[in-house]
Amino acid sequence: MEMSGVPQAMSQAAASTVEARFRVQWPGFVLDVDLNLPGRGVTALFGHSGSGKTTLLRCIAGLERQGQGRLSFKGEVWQDSARHTFVPTHRRPLGYVFQEASLFPHLSVHQNLIYGRKRVGGAHRVSLEQAIDLLGIGHLLERMPDRLSGGERQRVAIARALATSPRLLLMDEPLAALDLKRKGEILPYLERLHDELEIPVFYVSHSPDEVARLADYVVLLSEGRVVAEGGLQETLARLDLPTAFSEDAGVVIEAVIASHDENYHLSRLDFPGGNVVVAQRREPIGHRLRLRIHARDVSIALERATGTSIANLLPATVVEIADADTPAHVLIQLAAADTTIIARITRRSLDQLGLRRGMPVWAQIKAVALLGD
């Protein structure tokens, strides 16, 4: 059963979307999805290990031939099992970044970069220089892959995929094999990719932070099925997701830097329905930022608290109450004007405060994670 709240895309929209319907059956595993994904922006395929997200990506790439189904990319049919149509991987205009960089060890960085590029006919929409600049690998071109760090290798792998001017970029947890520091080193490049190139990206991840930072659209997978899909902010703000996801529950908000407080070294970020104050940012006033508010960092008060160190208090209304990942907790969906926030509180607090739908409350935000640090 799908709980997707997104209306079925209209048929005339097929020319701009990716329709993927797959059924793969292995002993102990079934992938069964029917998706209509946006042909632009970053779509995150999110789920725990074993949820089928990588298998789905491999089906889209044509790397899993056992997969039965139908796949059309912006109106072009890449696979239709009913009609025995299967465009082999090397004829699909896609780029694929694997979890391990998988550079060809017998080729230099430059030779790796042009391996795919010289096999692509026609005009290149992404120039080699653009790919090299975007990933900041100009100084590595003559090196052999075994003389690169893990982060450098993955950047080369991304540039190698981009250099083929793909019309669809598939990324299978490109950061998973890297430590935190290397992740931080690559994420800005992925954001630039998002901002500067018009290539739709399908991004497999099990990291809520990566998804919150990069994605525009989210597909939540669990045990080979789609449990939710939709725009990033709406989807993360939903309460009806399986409890497996509620441990990491939290919302993402797009905010704008409104002012800087030089005395206290703070910055105020405005968003529809309120504002939060965070440690001072380097960015100028007017700069857009994504921030993530974890449900576990939000508590609820019936009245505006005084004498508290919590600076971020938002007037809000209770919209929905739902079970959390443990019987001791509940998730509360709150509306602060146009912005939805989720709070994770104990069931005892729920009863003590007597929270009901429609009740006005104050959301106390203990911490805000700024995505992009």
Partner 1 sequence: MAEFHPALTQADWSAVWLTFKLASVVTVILLLVGTPIAWWLARTRSKWKGPVGALVALPLVLPPTVLGFYLLVAMGPHGPVGQFTQWLGIGLLPFTFAGLVVGSVFYSMPFVVQPIQNAFEAIGERPLEVAATLRANPWDRFFTVMLPLAKPGFITAAILGFAHTVGEFGVVLMIGGNIPEQTRVVSVAIYDHVEALEYAEAHLLSAGMLIFSFLVLLALYSRKTSVWR
d(CA 231, CA 211): 12
Our CB check for partner 1 shows the closer of 65 and 304 to be: 65
In this chain, which of 120, 302, 311, 337 binds partner 1, going by CB under 8 A? 120
Spell out the residues 6+ positions from residue 308 whose beta carbon is closer than 8 angstroms to its own.
364
Q: State in angstroms the smallest separation of the CB of 290 from partner 1.
A: 30
Spell out the residues 6+ positions from residue 252 whose beta carbon is closer than 8 angstroms to its own.
212, 232, 233, 236, 290, 291, 292, 371
In this chain, which of 10, 11, 27, 119 binds partner 1, going by CB under 8 A? 119
In this chain, which of 72, 81, 102, 108 binds partner 1, going by CB under 8 A? 102
In this chain, which of 47, 52, 95, 145 binds partner 1, going by CB under 8 A? 95
When asked if residue 115 is in the footprint of partner 1 (CB under 8 A), the reply is yes
When asked if residue 96 is in the footprint of partner 1 (CB under 8 A), the reply is yes
Our CB check for partner 1 shows the closer of 175 and 291 to be: 175
Our CB check for partner 1 shows the closer of 90 and 265 to be: 90
d(CA 130, CA 261): 38
Q: Please state, in angstroms and as integers, the Cα–Cα distance from residue 338 to each residue in 6, 155, 214, 317, 335, following that order.
A: 19, 38, 22, 11, 7
Binding string, 45-64, against partner 1, x = CB under 8 A? ----------------xxx-
Our CB check for partner 1 shows the closer of 92 and 296 to be: 92
When asked if residue 94 is in the footprint of partner 1 (CB under 8 A), the reply is yes
Assess contact for 211 and 44: CB atoms under 8 A: yes
In this chain, which of 78, 98, 189, 217 binds partner 1, going by CB under 8 A? 98
In this chain, which of 89, 130, 207, 317 binds partner 1, going by CB under 8 A? 89
User: Phi, psi at residue 188, to the nearest 5°?
Assistant: -60, -35
d(CA 370, CA 254): 10
In this chain, which of 49, 65, 76, 88 binds partner 1, going by CB under 8 A? 88
Any idea of the CA torsion for 66, 67, 70, 74, to the nearest 10 degrees? -100
When asked if residue 31 is in the footprint of partner 1 (CB under 8 A), the reply is no
Q: State in angstroms the smallest separation of the CB of 42 from partner 1.
A: 19
Single out the segment in contact with partner 1 by CB under 8 A; choices: 98-106, 181-189, 316-324, 326-334. 98-106
Our CB check for partner 1 shows the closer of 113 and 298 to be: 113
Spell out the residues 6+ positions from residue 139 whose beta carbon is closer than 8 angstroms to its own.
none
In terms of Cβ atoms closer than 10 Å to its own Cβ (0-12, 13-18, 19+), residue 74 is: middle
Our CB check for partner 1 shows the closer of 104 and 264 to be: 104
When asked if residue 164 is in the footprint of partner 1 (CB under 8 A), the reply is yes
- Cross-strand partners of 278: 267
Spell out the residues 6+ positions from residue 246 whose beta carbon is closer than 8 angstroms to its own.
295, 324, 325, 331, 344
Binding interface with partner 1 (CB under 8 A): 61-63, 88-91, 94-96, 98, 100, 102, 104-106, 115-116, 119-120, 160-161, 164
